[in-house]
Amino acid sequence: MKKTLALFLILALCQTLSAQEKSLAVSGGVARTAALGGGPTNPYITDYSDIYINPAEALRYIDLLYADIGYQFAGYKANGQGIGFTLGTSGIAIGIAVGHEEGPMYQKNSYGVGTNYAYSDYMMHNVTPPGGTATVMGEPLAPVQVYAGFKLGYLTLGAAFYRAGWSESIDQSGSGTAKASNHQTGFKAGTIIGDENTYLDASLLMRFNGSSAEYSFSPAPANGLSSGKYSVTGTEFGVNARFFMPLIDKLTIVPIGRYYTFAYEPEYSQTPAAAAGTVTKPNAYSRNELEIGVGANTAVKGGMVTIGLSMQRISLSNDVTAAKFGKTLTEKQKCVWFDLPKINVGAELALNSWATARFGYFKRFSTVTETIEEPAGWSSATSPSVTTESSQTLEAMYAPALGMANSTDQQLSLGLGLTYDRIALDGYIADQMIGDMPYILSGKANGVFCVLSMSYKF
């Protein structure tokens, strides 16, 4: 009830002030891109969240304070919160962003969660030493990225540095010690080549992820293990490119291309060393993505409409190492999502000088193929090598799911943007609100927005 009343108060205030001069506010954030048919991002449109992909975009959003207020609101907490600020002049910009969680060390970015490929793109293992207590890894805290961009005629260049980490140490008197840590260190470079309407937007990502856990026992347990160590380093590499190409008045074609790869192979050692024929290392994992598509943006009275179609391939691999009949063998597992097509559709229409309605549609038509290559001697000491393959067609999710239960289904979306002077508040309207209506009409205490973003233009 309070949230609904607050929304009505905001609307009433904006109506009262709508006669003021034209707003300087800049709408954007994940609440906008998700509402415009994003999954949750939409590569065919421009938004201030593009800074996270291409730091050269900072020149387009000078003197802007922006924030994702988050999703899955509970009390005074929410997931997915982050804030950033860009300042500069017409030729140079610098900025900092805190809280934007990127990469495979955050479960929300994983496609493998809940499957046999849970760790293929989620590099966060709980390490349980033989005869010991599990060392639980925590996700990196407060990721920070610092970025800058400068313009030289038709060429804009940008660069960014990303860093996040977490650590924990436990010393239990009479039983031993344990410590664990992880970190992310990343670099981004980007460029924009062209004028305001016709331009190439391209960027490069390189990020190094690492985690480790060490433990020792005093006195040693019955199995004689005195210490052990787990360590892993995983490398991400990504390339993004899109080209905005006006064809005729009010119509822009946007071809896009994206490639991403990530892999890691943990290492485990112990004292005394493991006996021959037993597992000496954990599994090895990787994720690869390729997307090629084309979109069209057209200006309409009071707004714009965007439509994008693409082919996307996501591959997760899991090399399972295990002790089998006196030998250490590896079984290769792979799961591939092939999307054809992947659809992004959105419309943004001004209702008046301070309110904008958004509509979106997102869909992945996926064929999922799983292949398992079992080596000789895996099922029994004399079993031959076997390869099995299964395939199914389904409607696939996007990641992160933003806490929405229907992220694996057809994704129709509604959004609302409110502006006053230099302030913009953008919301993805909660699905249950669409069906049940506000408390004053339905008697159900639903929140109006399930995702919120906000910005202030200085």
Which pLDDT score, from 0 to 100, does residue 164 have?
96
Pull the structure tokens for residue 238. 């990504």
pTM higher than 0.85: yes
Which pLDDT score, from 0 to 100, does residue 118 have?
84
**Separation of alpha carbons 137 and 124, rounded Å:** 6
Q: Where are the domains of the chain?
A: 2-457
- Residues 48 and 28 sit within 8 Å (Cβ to Cβ): yes
- Please say if the pLDDT value at position 53 is more than 90: yes
- Residues 114 and 310 sit within 8 Å (Cβ to Cβ): no
Between 24-28, 70-74, 115-119, 436-440, the lowest mean confidence (pLDDT) is in: 436-440
How would residue 1 be classed by pLDDT, with cut points 50, 70 and 90? very low
Between 15-19, 83-87, 239-243, 367-371, the lowest mean confidence (pLDDT) is in: 15-19
Nearest to 34 by CA among 449, 351, 458, 456: 449
Between 39-53, 284-298, 439-453, the lowest mean confidence (pLDDT) is in: 439-453
**Separation of alpha carbons 409 and 404, rounded Å:** 10
Which pLDDT score, from 0 to 100, does residue 445 have?
53
What's the mean pLDDT when you consider all of the chain?
83
Which pLDDT score, from 0 to 100, does residue 408 have?
53
Between residues 142 and 100, which one has the greater pLDDT?
100
- Please say if the pLDDT value at position 2 is more than 60: no
H-only helix segments in 30-106: 30-35
Read off the pLDDT of each residue in 12-41 and give the average, rounded to a whole number: 76
How would residue 136 be classed by pLDDT, with cut points 50, 70 and 90? low
- Please say if the pLDDT value at position 208 is more than 90: yes
pLDDT single digits (tens) 253-288 = 999 999 999 999 888 777 776 665 555 556 789 999
Between 25-34, 114-123, 131-140, 177-186, the lowest mean confidence (pLDDT) is in: 131-140
**Separation of alpha carbons 378 and 319, rounded Å:** 13
- Please say if the pLDDT value at position 381 is more than 80: no
182-205 as b/e: b if 16+ CB within 10 A: bbbebebbbbbbeeeeebebbbbb
- Please say if the pLDDT value at position 349 is more than 90: yes
**Separation of alpha carbons 252 and 112, rounded Å:** 36
Which pLDDT score, from 0 to 100, does residue 35 have?
92
Most confident of the ranges 55-59, 340-344, 385-389: 55-59
Which whole-number Å values give the CA distances from 4 to 1, 182, 261, 386, 441, in the listed order? 5, 42, 44, 59, 10
- Please say if the pLDDT value at position 132 is more than 60: no
Q: What percent of the chain has pLDDT over 70?
A: 79
Which pLDDT score, from 0 to 100, does residue 9 have?
45
Which pLDDT score, from 0 to 100, does residue 86 have?
97
pLDDT single digits (tens) 401-431 = 666 555 555 578 889 999 999 999 999 886 6
